[in-house]
Amino acid sequence: MKVLRKIAEADGAETSGSDTALDGHDEAFVRGADTVVYSSAIADDNPELRYAYAQGLRVVSRAEFLGDTAKRYQTVIAVAGSHGKTTCTAMLGSIFAPLNATVHLGGEYDGECGHVGGKRLFITEACEYKRNFLYLLPRVSVVLNVELDHTDYYRDLDDITGAFRVFSRSAPVRILCADDENSKPLREGKYIGFGMGADCEYRAEEVVSEKGGTRFTLSHFGRPMGEVHLRVLGRHNVYNALAAAAAAFAVGMDFDGVKRGLERFSGAARRLEYLGERHGCDVYTDYAHHPREIESTLRSLRDAGYGRIAIAFEPHTYSRTISLLPAFTEAISLADDVLLADIYAAREAPQRGVSSQLLCRKLIESGRQARCFGTFFELNEAAERLAQRDAVLVFCGAGTIDIAARKFAAQG
């Protein structure tokens, strides 16, 4: 909401806002407003929404407001995908920073959730939850990958794939990952494919992972364009960079501009963000809350040369935890030591029989050392002991575990 609010103010609007974690919610906050914008996390019985409807105010979702905002720009690039949206969008922001592009992020990069620039180019994340991204009509649509997620809304993989297909086809220029198995139904008609396979238009070759970053040669239809040195870890970030490059080329950026932007990019907040060292153990914080994301994070650390790996994970929502339980067990088992916090409920009510203890039992059955903790204080005490024997410790989750990660690292 932060960047959308700043854009509205730049366009001459007077704005105000409310948040549960700050001043709470009260109808007084929307008195005198013409338009009320709400996020997907807001329940129907919210007092501000009830007042707005009763007074006949214009009420729109954040997704609708984002779609209306995007229409005021000459060119729109929208980045969708089950994983990697924030990083790829931030990479594009870095590439187009010299052109003063307006950038809208769901996370943070350089301490901001984007940038309010000119009206020529708008770069935005496109969130698939509740089909929110269908309010956007971009010039360039990017789909990084497709995975079953948001199981409180989507019935199955076919349901969410269908939503991504509609989004992809909403743009005249379509960019898709040619290596992603679940994206196959989207690869119809004309599109630009990126990946590491031989049939990709934009391809990464000679990929080398190392502590501190990843490097690769970018080729176009098999012809090398040049080498790119990323300052972020992981093959998943190579895919993000390829997607950003393809989108940038599609709207006229040259290779030198793409290379400079990607090599300037230092990583989005909470995306395998390095926090420091504790007892010789490197400490990272990561937003990963889906099995595929956790797998990518752990493999990235292993590929970077780390030996023994520990993970502290806060599961995100009861529906995701139970519906993807086998995949969570398999992904987290890539770590040597596992610490689990209680489930972060977000928008959901507790589900009977669904808990971190359930995931813990599955991990123990798979042969992993796993323990659950009711508080972050207790979790960090256990992390202190692991830091004395493990090479790296990564705190994962989309909820509040980042607080524990930063407090732990700050004590080093």
Instruction: Tell me the CATH number at 192.
Output: 3.40.1190.10
Which pLDDT belongs to residue 412?
64
Nearby residues of 320 by Cβ (< 8 Å), 6 or more positions away: 149, 150, 151, 152, 289, 290
Asked if residue 387 belongs to a domain, the reply is: yes
Asked if residue 28 belongs to a domain, the reply is: yes
- Residue 294 is part of a domain; what is its CATH number? 3.90.190.20
Domain boundary among 264, 282, 315: 264
Asked if residue 40 belongs to a domain, the reply is: yes
- Residue 7 is part of a domain; what is its CATH number? 3.40.50.720
Nearby residues of 20 by Cβ (< 8 Å), 6 or more positions away: none
Answer yes or no: do 101 and 24 share one domain: no
Residue showing tokens 């009510």? 349
Answer yes or no: do 202 and 112 share one domain: yes
Answer yes or no: do 18 and 156 share one domain: no
Secondary structure E strands in 190-326: 192-195, 202-210, 213-220, 223-230, 273-278, 281-286, 309-313
For residue 215, the tally of other CB atoms under 10 A from its CB is 16
Residue showing tokens 């689990």? 340
Q: Helices 235-250 & 85-95, crossing angle to 10 degrees?
A: 50
Asked if residue 163 belongs to a domain, the reply is: yes
Number of domains in the chain: 3
Answer yes or no: do 19 and 143 share one domain: no
Domain boundary among 264, 281, 296: 264
Domain boundary among 199, 229, 264: 264
Asked if residue 84 belongs to a domain, the reply is: yes
Secondary structure E strands in 128-198: 140-143, 173-177, 192-195
Nearest to 258 by CA among 221, 300, 229: 229
Q: In which domain, by residue range, is 385 found?
A: 273-410
Give me the sheet containing 223-230, strands edge to edge.
112-115, 102-109, 121-125, 75-80, 140-143, 173-177, 192-195, 202-210, 213-220, 223-230
Structure tokens at 403: 């607080």
Answer yes or no: do 361 and 382 share one domain: yes
Answer yes or no: do 145 and 127 share one domain: yes
pTM over 0.75: yes
Answer yes or no: do 250 and 336 share one domain: no
Asked if residue 67 belongs to a domain, the reply is: no
Residue showing tokens 């256990």? 382
Answer yes or no: do 257 and 278 share one domain: no
Mean pLDDT of successive 10-residue stretches along the chain, which has 412 residues: 93 89 85 92 89 95 97 98 97 98 94 95 97 98 97 96 98 98 96 95 95 93 97 95 98 98 96 95 97 96 94 97 97 97 94 97 94 97 96 97 97 76
Answer yes or no: do 81 and 204 share one domain: yes
Answer yes or no: do 167 and 299 share one domain: no
Answer yes or no: do 316 and 219 share one domain: no
Which pLDDT belongs to residue 44?
87
Answer yes or no: do 235 and 344 share one domain: no
Asked if residue 110 belongs to a domain, the reply is: yes
Asked if residue 103 belongs to a domain, the reply is: yes
